[in-house]
Amino acid sequence: MSQVFPESRAVHPIEAESFRRLRARLDTSHFPPLTRAVVERVIHSAADLAYAEDLVMDEAALEKAHGALHDGAPVVVDVEMVAAGITRRETVCRLKDAGSGPGLTRSAHAIRLAYEQVGPGALWVIGCAPTALEELLTLDAAPALVIGLPVGFVGAAESKAALRESGLPAVSNVSEKGGSAVAAAALNALLYHPVPPTPPVHPVSEASEPLKEKP
C-alpha cells in the first residue's frame, strides 16, 4: 500500500502568486471543484492556458479517485520523471526492471510488471510513453483512475483517444502535448485537494430507540 502523508501543506508565496496570476488571466470558476483543481495545477505546471480547453475529465470519476487516493490506493507511474514530480506519496515504477522484446516496448513491459505488483484499484499516471498507456488498456486493471497524458507526435493523441473510448475513469487531453510534469501535476491536484470531513457518529440513546411491545 502507498504511504499516506499528512494532509497539511504549506503553500510557498511564489506558488500562491502564480495561481493568482493564472486566475487573473483565465476564469476557472465554472469548473466543478476537483476538475478546477486539476485544470489549474496542470496549467500552472506548464504555463499553458490552452490546457483549459484540451483536458478531458469527469467530476464524478475524480471524486471516486480522490477518495481512493486518500484511502491509500497505490499510485503507479510509467517513468521516474513522473515519480519525481509527485510529492507526498510513494509511487510504483517498474521501468528499471523491464525489458523490450518483439512487439513489446520496455515501457509496456514495465506496466505489466507494475500490474502484477499492485493488482486492481490503483491510480495510474502515464506522462511519457504512449505504449505504456496502450498496454494498460489491454489489462484488466480496474483502475481507480488513469491519468493518461503521454506526449509525442507518434501515438500520443491516439492512445489518449483510446483511453477515452475505453470508458475507464480518466484524465486525458486531446492534443499530442502532455508530459511527465503535467501528469504529475494532475495527480498532485488530487493529493492537495482537501478531504471532506467525516460526519460525527452520534450514539443512539435509549430514548431514541423504538418502543417494544410488552408481551
Catalytic positions are 44
Parallel/antiparallel/unpaired status of strands 75-77 and 123-126: parallel
- Sort 99 into a burial class: Cβ within 10 Å, 0-12 / 13-18 / 19+: exposed
Q: Is 96 exposed, middle or buried (0-12, 13-18, 19+ CB in 10 A)?
A: exposed
Question: E strands of 47-186, at which residues?
Answer: 55-56, 75-77, 123-126, 145-148, 170-173
Q: Residue 103: CA atoms inside 13 Å, Cβ hemisphere, count? A: 0
Per the rule left: phi > 0, alpha: psi between -120 and 50, beta: everything else, 98 is beta
Tell me the three cell numbers of residue 191: 493529493
Radius of gyration from C-alpha coordinates of the chain? 20
